[in-house]
Amino acid sequence: MLIKKPHDIKPSEITDESHYLNRRALLQSAGLMAGGLLLPSLFNPQTAEASVALDSYPNLKASAFSTDEKITTYDNATSYCNFYEFGTGKSDPSQYASKVKPKGWEVTVAGACDKPGQYTLEDILKPHALEERIYRLRCVEAWSMVVPWVGFPLVDLLKRFQPHSRAKYVRFETLYDPNLMPGQKRNVLDWPYVEGLRIDEATHPLALVVIGMYGKQLPMQNGAPLRLVLPWKYGFKSIKSIVKIEFVEKPPRTSWNLSAPREYGFYANVNPAVSHPRWSQSRERRLGSWGKQKTLPFNGYAEQVAHLYKGMDLKKQF
């Protein structure tokens, strides 16, 4: 079974970090304290860094959405990355991302909402209780990984800005700084990177704002200090290093869809019945293993999200 249902998980169940790489121990563990963790002030003037000042998140709220699959090793998940802002090679992000420091990070909120403005990272994070969700994330190149993400539901963030009824989509934007992100000096994409979601997708409880992984702070190469994880979509929809959130009335023009519309649709739902023009998506290879396995519709989350796309032709609206 891919997803744990709420009645399958004990309220006190939390995965101990020492068990992350041992599936048997992982499935049997129920160690750390449950309950919400309110993030302390990360921008205290006495603190040298922002969110990176926290080495770990020891007390995490249990999640009912976690998969029980074998977890990808931390080294694999942090050294084999897609983050074209740092380069197109899988090792480029881990090589160059350390130059970016989240200190003083701000997020602009704009568009059709009652509370637009400039928000510090502390503004964004401090009201939220953190939880761990073990999600499977799939990339279009037919590889996938399973990662214990640390974060909070995206809907909890968006509702704070009080979007208007005419806001049908949410547009997200990544940091643009070619001096720190050398990949942006190349015309691989039209920078800055832009992604978008329909409002009902963005407010679905599976959509997660991520600030950590493996019980620790989120490494820069994995999208620190603030990224999304949308487990039923391909990985490129899970935008990294967010600096802008905008509520809009029409579908935003997203980076990969603009770059290669024949290959990357706006929705980017995992659909093994729709092959990428250059490879099949019916099977996938788990990062760190040699064998392939069957790709599941919506990455295994069809029971939770398929209703969002009722009546759509998912071969055309991909």
Least confident stretch, 53-67, 151-165, 234-248, 297-311: 53-67
Per-residue pLDDT band for 21 (boundaries 50, 70, 90) equals very low
DSSP bridge pairs for 132: 150
Position 55 scores a pLDDT of: 61
- Return all residues near 302 (Cβ < 8 A) that are at least 6 apart: 232, 296
Averaged pLDDT of the chain? 84
DSSP bridge pairs for 62: none
> Could you give the CA distance from residue 127 to residue 123 in angstroms, rounded to a whole number?
8
pLDDT tens per residue, range 245-260? 999 999 999 999 999 9
Q: What is the set of domains in the chain, with CATH numbers? A: 6-261 (3.90.420.10)
DSSP bridge pairs for 292: 285
Report which secondary-structure segment, H or E, holds 195: strand 194-198
Please state, as a whole number, how many other Cβ atoms lie within 10 Å of the Cβ of residue 274.
15
Report which secondary-structure segment, H or E, holds 133: strand 131-139
Q: First vs last Cα of the chain: how many Å apart?
A: 26
> Could you give the CA distance from residue 287 to residue 267 in angstroms, rounded to a whole number?
24
What is the secondary structure of 65-132 as a DSSP string?
Answer: ----SPPPPHHHHHHS---GGG-SSTTHHHHHGGG---TT-EEEEEESBS--EEEEHHHHHTTPBPEE
DSSP bridge pairs for 169: 198, 248
pLDDT tens per residue, range 209-229? 999 999 999 999 999 999 999
- Return all residues near 148 (Cβ < 8 A) that are at least 6 apart: 15, 20, 66, 71, 132, 133, 134, 213, 214, 215
C-alpha 214, offset from chain centre: 14
pLDDT tens per residue, range 69-126? 999 999 999 999 999 999 999 999 999 999 898 889 999 999 999 999 999 999 999 8
pLDDT tens per residue, range 272-311? 999 888 989 899 999 999 899 999 999 999 999 999 999 9
Tokens 């997200």: give the residue.
172
- Return all residues near 103 (Cβ < 8 A) that are at least 6 apart: 48, 49, 50, 52
C-alpha 133, offset from chain centre: 11
Flag whether pLDDT at 202 surpasses 90: yes
Report percent pLDDT > 70 for the chain.
83
Q: Is 258 helix (H, G, I), strand (E, B) or coil?
A: helix
